[in-house]
């Protein structure tokens, strides 16, 4: 069967809603229809298909497609990877239909065009002019689930994969600049349970907002400590950062606040032990926990994501740098690379700009089509032929 045109593939991928939403099940979409569509196209090209349901998700799946002319289809070759889900969208702020590819002003607009369902359209386009029967090493294509909330798909794949490719490329929008490292992500929820009462007699209650005020003071001390004690000049922001993102508490001006909640994140450097940050957070808040026993709870919002680094001298990274004629850089955002880097040297490299990710009227400039196709074909030729 002949593949549809590039723009038809692109549009069909964007048309299928695959929004991830951890808080609201009604707004959390399965990716099953999308991976089945990818599976059909890739099967028509001769790829062997494996669809895997991901435990503890809402009907989410990974797809692994493999083309190999060898009896051993697990060793060597190339893995091209992307996630199938998107973030929610701000309906009132979009001027284009988020579930349709709209061509305007030399750009392709739509939810997931850049981040990053569109990458699969670029992969399929690059395969049109390649004689797959000439491959001497396997080519794998991985489509993962739930990257935008838990990274459950990539974590499950890394835990169970039997592959050992020579190189993995994650097609996040990097403006076709190779990325070799990024920071980790830790999101914690701090809940204060106070004692409510009438505001006219504050001594009879425990105001959770006031306790949270003490907690925030300690957190800001920790923020400065992290900045002073950890450094990596490879990053534009060369130290761990902390952000106090959400705070909720209280229900009336004349009532002592009985509950207050803060959600925060820490962006850790790759060399930092991601789990030790929880212990450090607990130690920092211990004096206040002693003052208010059993009233301060510290938990993860989602499982922490480690930082990632592919070393400068890694042969696969050096080959990719030569192919694209660009030196690898580092970024502050997170990807699935910490998981896939456990399997093979992993580089983040894809069309479009990260500036468009998670934004209204997300788009990819049409000028990326030819260079992305050429780059993917060079990667396949280098690692699979």
Note the pLDDT tens digit of each residue in 17-26.
Answer: 999 998 788 8
CATH code assigned to 6-182+307-384: 3.40.630.10
Cα distances from 197 to residues 194, 200, 209, 212, in angstroms, run 10, 9, 13, 17
Cα within 13 Å of Cα(266), Cβ side: 30
Separation CA 33–CA 48 (nearest Å): 18
pLDDT for the residue 1: 57
Q: Verify cis geometry, omega within 30 degrees of 0, for the bond prior to 116.
A: yes
Region 102-106: what's the mean pLDDT? Answer: 97
User: What tens digit of pLDDT does each residue of 108-159 get?
Assistant: 999 999 999 999 999 999 999 999 999 999 999 999 999 999 999 999 999 9
User: What tens digit of pLDDT does each residue of 156-186 get?
Assistant: 999 999 999 999 999 999 999 999 999 999 9
pLDDT for the residue 159: 96
Residue of 28, 125, 146, 147 with catalytic role: 147
Burial class (CB in 10 A: 0-12, 13-18, 19+), 299: exposed
Please, which residues bridge with residue 268 across strands?
184
Residue of 28, 85, 115, 172 with catalytic role: 85
Are residues 202 and 380 in contact, defined by beta-carbon separation less than 8 angstroms?
A: no
**And the tokens for 315?**
């042969």
As a whole-number percent, the residues of the chain with pLDDT over 70 amount to 100
Cα distances from 276 to residues 73, 232, 238, 306, in angstroms, run 38, 18, 19, 11
Domain with CATH 3.40.630.10 in the chain: 6-182+307-384
Report the CATH fold assignment for 184-300. Alpha-Beta Plaits (3.30.70)
Reply yes or no on whether 85 is catalytic: yes
Residues constituting the chain: 385
What is the pairing mode between strands 167-170 and 78-83? parallel
């Amino acid at each position: 069967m002949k593949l549809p045109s590039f723009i038809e593939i692109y549009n069909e991928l964007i048309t299928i809603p695959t929004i991830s939403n951890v808080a609201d099940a009604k707004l959390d979409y399965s990716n099953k229809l999308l991976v089945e569509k990818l599976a059909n196209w890739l099967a028509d090209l001769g790829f062997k298909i494996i669809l895997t349901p991901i435990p503890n998700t809402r009907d989410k799946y990974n797809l692994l497609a493999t083309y190999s002319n060898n009896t051993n289809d697990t060793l060597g070759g190339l893995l091209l990877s992307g996630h199938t889900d998107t973030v929610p969208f701000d309906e009132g702020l979009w001027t284009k239909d988020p579930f349709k590819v709209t061509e305007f002003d030399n750009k392709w607009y739509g939810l997931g065009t850049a981040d990053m369902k569109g990458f699969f359209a670029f992969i399929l386009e690059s395969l049109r002019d390649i004689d797959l029967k000439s491959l001497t090493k396997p080519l794998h294509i991985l489509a993962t689930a739930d990257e935008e909330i838990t990274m459950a798909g990539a974590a499950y794949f890394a835990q169970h994969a039997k592959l050992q490719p020579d190189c993995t490329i994650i097609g996040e929008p990097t403006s076709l600049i190779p990325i070799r490292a990024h920071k980790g992500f830790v999101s914690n929820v701090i809940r204060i349970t106070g004692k409510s009462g009438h505001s006219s007699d504050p001594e009879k209650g425990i105001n959770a907002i006031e306790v949270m005020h003490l907690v925030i003071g300690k957190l800001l001390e920790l923020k400065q400590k992290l900045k002073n004690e950890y450094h990596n000049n490879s990053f534009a922001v060369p130290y761990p950062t902390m952000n106090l993102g959400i705070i909720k508490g209280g229900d009336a001006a004349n009532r002592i606040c009985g509950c207050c909640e803060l959600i925060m994140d820490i962006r850790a450097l790759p060399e930092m032990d991601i789990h030790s940050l929880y212990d450090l957070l607990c130690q920092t808040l211990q004096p206040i926990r002693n003052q208010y026993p059993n009233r301060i709870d510290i938990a993860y919002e989602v499982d922490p994501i480690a930082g990632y680094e592919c070393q400068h001298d890694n042969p696969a990274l050096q080959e990719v740098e030569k192919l694209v004629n660009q030196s690898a850089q580092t970024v502050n955002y997170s990807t699935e690379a910490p998981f896939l880097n456990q399997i093979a040297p992993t580089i983040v490299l894809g069309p479009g700009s990260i500036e468009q990710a998670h934004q209204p009227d997300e788009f990819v400039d049409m000028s990326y089509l030819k260079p992305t196709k050429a780059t993917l074909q060079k990667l396949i030729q280098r690692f699979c032929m």
